[in-house]
Chains A and B, each alone.
Chain A
Amino acid sequence: MSSDLTINSTGARQKRPSLLQKLVSRALARNLSCLIVPGPEVALAHGLDIRAAGLRISTTPRDASVLMIVGDISEKMCDAVAVLYAQMPRPRAILLVGGQTPSTLPGADISSGLSQDQLTEAVGRLERAFADGAFVDSPEEFDSSVLHARIEYVCPMHPEVVEDEPGSCPKCGMDLVAREAGESTPDHEHHHDHEHHRHEHEHYHDQEQQSHHDHEHHHDHQHHHDHKHQHGESDDHSEHEHSGHDHGEHDHSGHDHEEHDHGGHDHGASGFMSMIEVTKDLPRSADGLQMDWLEVPFGPVFPGLPGGLKLTLTLDGDGVTEGQATSLVGMATEGEGSEESQESEGSQESEEMDADTFIEHLASAIPLAPVSYRLLACLAIEQAAGLSDDQATTQARNSALERERIASHLGWLAQSGRQLGFAWLTQRASTLQLKVRDAGRDRIAELEPELRTLGTRLERTPLLKSRLKGIGVLPVDSSDLRGPVARAAEDGGDAWARLWQRLDEIAASLELLKSGEEPELPVLRDIGNASGTGKATVDTPRGEARLSLKLEHGKVKSYKLDTACSHHIDLVPKLVEGQELGDALLAVGSLDLSPWEVIS
C-alpha cells in the first residue's frame, strides 16, 4: 500500500499507541459514509451512483466521514461547507468530484472527475487513505474564519449602546447582553447559521476552545432561565464567559418578536421558577400558548430539502409561525457583458461570452436540468442569428427534453422519498433515474413497464395519501405558477395533486418519446458571425423558462433569464405559515424547487 495516501491533518485523529488502531483503521475504511454537498439529488443528476461506488450516503455531518462535494459550489455555500466539515467527527476526509476546493476548506484529500468510473476509483483511494492515514502523530486544528464570530455587548433597553467589552449600560446601568456582531435585532438574520446542525459550536477534544464562542442557543429558554436562577440578578457577564455558560442573554437578542429579552431577570432571586413567570413575556402562538419561538435554519444541506436551498423557519414548538426560503446557489439571471458582478458562480473576465461558452455556462449552472437550459440557450441564440427551425433537429431535441423531464421527476420522487422516510421510493426512483437519464429510445421503452408500475405502487401505498392530501395547498390568488405546480393547481393544488401531476407527466413523456426521434443533446448549429436579438421559451421539468439575449458578432452581449423556480420560491412563506413542521417541509418539497434556477 502506498503511504502517500493519507488524509488531511485537519481531518485525521490523534495517534495513540494501540494494538487496535490498525484494525480500527481498516474498519473505518470499510465503513465510509459520505455527506453529499450540495445534495444527493445533484449527484444523481450527474449520473453518479454513490452506493455502487462503495459509499454509504449519510444524512448528517455527524454520521459522515467523507465530505463529498459534487461540482463547483457557490461562494455562499463555502461557509456552510466549512461548518459541515467542522461538525464531522474525525477521522474525516474531503472528496472532490468534478470541482474546485472551496476557499474555506483545507485542500481536498481525494479528487475525482464527474464520472462513475472515476468516482469508484477515487473511493478506492479514499479507502486506502483511511486504512493508512486515519491516525497521525500531530493532527491540526481546523480553523476557518467562518467558525468565529465577533461578540459585542448591547443594552437590552438601549439598542444604540454597543460595546466591545462586557459591562453595564451607561444610560440605565443594566448589564450588557452579549450577541454576535452583525446580528442586528430588527431582522431575522441573527443566526448566521449556514446549515442545519449548527446550533452550537462544539469544540473538539483535540482542539482549543475558540476564544470567541458563538452561540445559537436561542432555543434554550429553559436553560436560560435556570441559569439566571443560579446566578441571581447580580450575575456578572464576564463571569458568564469564563465559566463557559454562554447560553445566556444573547440568545434573546434575536427573539425580537416581543421585548422579552430582559424578562428573565426578574425572577432571578426567588427559588421557585413559575411557569407563568417564565413564559409571561414570550410571544403567543396561534393556539394561544405562550412559548419560546425559535428561529431554526433548515439547509442549505439538509436531507429533506434540495441542496443549496436554505429555509429559515420560526418555530413555536413544532409549528411554523413564519418562514422564508433563499437560494445559496442561485444563478445570475441577467448578465450584462460589461458588468459581470452579478454572476454568482465566479464572474467572467471576458466582456462578452462566446455563444458556445454561454451555452455551456448556462447548462452547467443548472445541474438539475442541464438539457433544458442547453436547449433554451441554443434556441435563443439560433433565433437571434436568424436560423429557421429544422424539423429533425427539433424533434431530436424535444426527445432529449422529454427524457430529462422523466429523469428530473424521478429525481424529485427520490427526494420526496428521502423527505418522507420512504426508503423504497428513494431507492426505486433513483435507480430508474440513473437508467433513464442517458438512455436511448429503445432502452426507455424497455423501462416503461417499471416506470408505470411506480405509479401503481404509490397509489397502493398506505398512509401516502393521508400524508400528502391537503398539504401545501396553494393560496387561491397565487400568480405566476408554471409547470407541474400550475397544472396541479386545478386539481386541488396540494402535494398529492402535484405528485400525481408529475407521475402523469412521466407517462405523457413516455408517449412522446415513443412517437418521437432518438433523443439528442442540443448542439448549437453554425451561427457564423451573426448579430441580433433572440427570445426562446422552453417548458423545463419545473415549468416554463424564458430567455432573451442579444447577440453581437457571434457573441452573447447580454441576456435575461426568467425561470419558474424564482417565482415558486416566493410561495414558500405562505405555504409554511401556521403548518406543523413536517407538513411545512413537505409543502416546500412538493414545489420541486431547484435552488439553481432561482434568481439571486
Chain B
Amino acid sequence: MTVAIVLLALLGSAWLLAVIEGWMTTGRLSPAAPLYSGLAHLGRESIVPRSPDRVFFEAAPVLLLVVAVLGMAVLPLAPDLIIADLGTGALFINAALAYVLVAVIMAGWGPDGAYAMIGGWRFLGQLIAYSMLIVMPITAVAMRAESLVNTAIVSSQAGLWNIVYQPLGFVLFFIAAMALAFRAPFDLPTAEGDLGGGVDAEYTGVRLAVLRLARLTLVVTLASATTVFYLGGWHGPLFPPWAWSLVKTLAVAVSMLLVGRYLPRIREADLMRWCWILGIPLALVNIIIVGLLILVVP
C-alpha cells in the first residue's frame, strides 16, 4: 500500500512537473500534454542505432528510472509514508544516486555515436565536481539529527528547518543536486548547442519516453531529498503531512527547472574549479559551523 502511494505520488509529481515545464516553454498550461506526449512517443518508431552496445543502450534509460525510484524509496512523505525507513537512509541515497553516473555513461556508450559518447564522459567529469557537494552537506544534516535515518532527520527539524540552521549546506546541496540531475545550466552531457542532445541524442520512441520520464523522476527525487534534508520534510501547519511534503518537493523541483532558463550553460572547467576550490572548502566550513552549533547550543 505504502509502495503504491509513494509511487503514485512520484508519478503524479513527475506529471505535474512535465505540465509546468510545458507551460514554461510553450506558454500554454495543458494538463493533458504529458499524456499526449507519452502516447506520441509510443506511436513513434524506436530506432536502434546501427551497431549499438545493445545491453548498454537498452538498459540505460531503465536504469536511470530505477535509480530515481530507488532514491525515492527511502525518502519519507509523512512519518509513516515511506517505503523503507532504512537505518542508513541518508547514505543509501548517495549509493543509489551514484548509479546515475553509470546510467549516463551507458547511455553515452551504448548508441556508438560521438556526441553521445562525449556527453557520457563529460558527465564523469561532472560527477567529480558535484559528488563531494552531495555527500558533505548530507554529513552536516546527519550530524544535527545524530542519525542517518531519514525520518529522524526530518524530526530533527521540527523546531527549525535546516535551510535556516545550515543555509550554506542547503545552497551547496541544491546546486549539486541540479548538477546531478544534469538540468540546465549543468546540462553538459546533453548540451544541445554543443552536442546536439548528447546522451539523449540517439533515443527515440518508447526508449525516449522512458528516458524523459526517468529524468523528470530524478528531479522529483532530488527535490524530495532537498525537502527531507533542508525544508523540514512533512512539517507544516494546517495541511496533512504528505501534502506539505509534496508541495515543498514540487516547489524545489520547479525552481530547479526555472533557474536553468535564465542561465547560460556552465563551462565544465569552471564547474570543476568552483566546486573544488570554492565548494568543498565551503562544505567543510558548513560542517564545522554545524558541529560548533551542536556543541554550543544545547
A residues lining the B interface (CB < 8 Å): 13, 20, 23-28, 30-31, 51, 56, 59-60, 62-63, 65, 87, 89-91, 134, 196-197, 199-206, 213, 215, 217, 219-220, 223, 244-247, 294, 296, 298, 302-304, 315, 317-318, 418-425, 461-464, 466-467, 580-583, 585
In the A-B complex, the 6 residue pairs with the smallest Cβ-Cβ separation, listed nearest first, are A304-B193, A27-B39, A419-B193, A200-B50, A24-B43, A420-B264
Q: Which residues of B contact A62 (CB under 8 A)?
A: 47, 197, 201-204, 208
Q: Contact string, B178-215, partner A, CB cutoff 8 A, digits 1/0? A: 00000011011001111111001111110010000000
CB distance from B111 to the nearest CB of A (A): 8
The answer to whether A213 and B50 touch (CB under 8 A), given A197-B196, A463-B266, is yes
A90 touches B270 (CB 8 A): no
A466 touches B44 (CB 8 A): no
B51 touches A25 (CB 8 A): no
B112 touches A200 (CB 8 A): yes
B51 touches A302 (CB 8 A): no
Can you report 23 A-B residue pairs in the complex whose CB atoms are below 8 A from each other? A26-B36, A31-B37, A59-B192, A62-B203, A87-B47, A90-B45, A196-B115, A200-B49, A202-B48, A202-B50, A203-B50, A219-B112, A220-B112, A315-B114, A317-B118, A318-B118, A420-B264, A421-B264, A423-B260, A424-B262, A462-B263, A467-B264, A581-B194
Q: Which residues of B contact A246 (CB under 8 A)?
A: 50-51
Q: Is B46's CB within 8 Å of the partner chain A?
A: yes
A101 and B261 CA atoms in complex are apart in Å by 36
Q: Is B269's CB within 8 Å of the partner chain A?
A: yes
B50 touches A91 (CB 8 A): no
A67 and B266 CA atoms in complex are apart in Å by 31
A27 and B113 CA atoms in complex are apart in Å by 30
CB distance from B89 to the nearest CB of A (A): 34
B114 touches A219 (CB 8 A): yes
B265 touches A30 (CB 8 A): no
CB distance from A207 to the nearest CB of B (A): 10
Residues 235-275 of B at the A interface (beta carbon under 8 Å): 260-270
A27 touches B26 (CB 8 A): no
Q: Which residues of A contact B196 (CB under 8 A)?
A: 59-60, 196-197, 298, 302-304
B43 touches A304 (CB 8 A): no
A304 touches B192 (CB 8 A): yes
Q: Is B229's CB within 8 Å of the partner chain A?
A: no
B47 touches A421 (CB 8 A): no
A28 touches B260 (CB 8 A): no
- Interface core residue of B42, B196, B201, B264 (most chain A CB under 10 Å): B264
- Interface core residue of B38, B50, B191 (most chain A CB under 10 Å): B50
Q: Contact string, B21-49, partner A, CB cutoff 8 A, digits 1/0? A: 00001100000000111111011111111
Q: Is B97's CB within 8 Å of the partner chain A?
A: no
B193 touches A63 (CB 8 A): no
CB distance from A139 to the nearest CB of B (A): 10
A583 touches B267 (CB 8 A): yes
B residues lining the A interface (CB < 8 Å): 25-26, 35-40, 42-51, 53, 111-115, 117-118, 121-122, 184-185, 187-188, 191-197, 200-205, 208, 260-270
A423 touches B267 (CB 8 A): no
CB distance from A280 to the nearest CB of B (A): 21
A244 touches B264 (CB 8 A): no
The answer to whether A24 and B193 touch (CB under 8 A), given A219-B114, A467-B266, A582-B267, is no
A592 and B157 CA atoms in complex are apart in Å by 53
A205 touches B268 (CB 8 A): no
Give the residue name and chain of the B residue nearest to A246 (CB).
B51
CB distance from A349 to the nearest CB of B (A): 39
The answer to whether A202 and B49 touch (CB under 8 A), given A24-B39, A318-B122, is yes
B47 touches A200 (CB 8 A): no
The answer to whether A420 and B265 touch (CB under 8 A), given A56-B26, A63-B197, is yes
B193 touches A30 (CB 8 A): no
A51 and B24 CA atoms in complex are apart in Å by 13
The answer to whether A582 and B44 touch (CB under 8 A), given A31-B37, A422-B263, is no
B268 touches A580 (CB 8 A): yes
B44 touches A90 (CB 8 A): yes
Give the residue name and chain of the B residue nearest to A294 (CB).
B114
A420 and B262 CA atoms in complex are apart in Å by 11
Q: Which residues of B contact A26 (CB under 8 A)?
A: 36
A23 touches B39 (CB 8 A): yes
A554 and B208 CA atoms in complex are apart in Å by 59
Q: Which residues of A contact B37 (CB under 8 A)?
A: 27, 31
A30 touches B262 (CB 8 A): no
B205 touches A89 (CB 8 A): yes
Out of B112, B201, B261, which one reaches A423, CB within 8 Å?
B261
B47 touches A464 (CB 8 A): no
B50 touches A204 (CB 8 A): no
Apart from A315-B114, A461-B262: 15 A-B pairs, beta carbons within 8 A: A27-B38, A60-B192, A60-B200, A62-B203, A89-B46, A196-B115, A196-B196, A197-B113, A204-B47, A223-B112, A304-B193, A420-B193, A580-B269, A582-B265, A582-B267
A241 and B208 CA atoms in complex are apart in Å by 30
Q: Which residues of B contact A245 (CB under 8 A)?
A: 51
CB distance from A19 to the nearest CB of B (A): 13
Q: Which residues of B contact A20 (CB under 8 A)?
A: 39, 42
Q: Which residues of B contact A220 (CB under 8 A)?
A: 112, 117
A26 and B42 CA atoms in complex are apart in Å by 12
B45 touches A59 (CB 8 A): no
CB distance from A72 to the nearest CB of B (A): 25
A582 touches B194 (CB 8 A): yes
Out of B26, B48, B204, B270, which one reaches A63, CB within 8 Å?
B204
A423 and B185 CA atoms in complex are apart in Å by 10
Q: Which residues of A contact B115 (CB under 8 A)?
A: 196-197, 199, 296
A215 and B196 CA atoms in complex are apart in Å by 20
A303 touches B193 (CB 8 A): yes
A201 touches B193 (CB 8 A): no
CB distance from B292 to the nearest CB of A (A): 31
Q: Which residues of A contact B200 (CB under 8 A)?
A: 60
A522 and B263 CA atoms in complex are apart in Å by 40
A223 and B112 CA atoms in complex are apart in Å by 9
CB distance from B132 to the nearest CB of A (A): 21
B26 touches A585 (CB 8 A): no
A31 and B268 CA atoms in complex are apart in Å by 33
A164 and B263 CA atoms in complex are apart in Å by 54
Q: Which residues of A contact B121 (CB under 8 A)?
A: 317-318
B261 touches A424 (CB 8 A): yes
CB distance from B138 to the nearest CB of A (A): 26
The answer to whether A421 and B185 touch (CB under 8 A), given A27-B36, A91-B44, A463-B266, is yes
Q: Which residues of B contact A466 (CB under 8 A)?
A: 267, 270
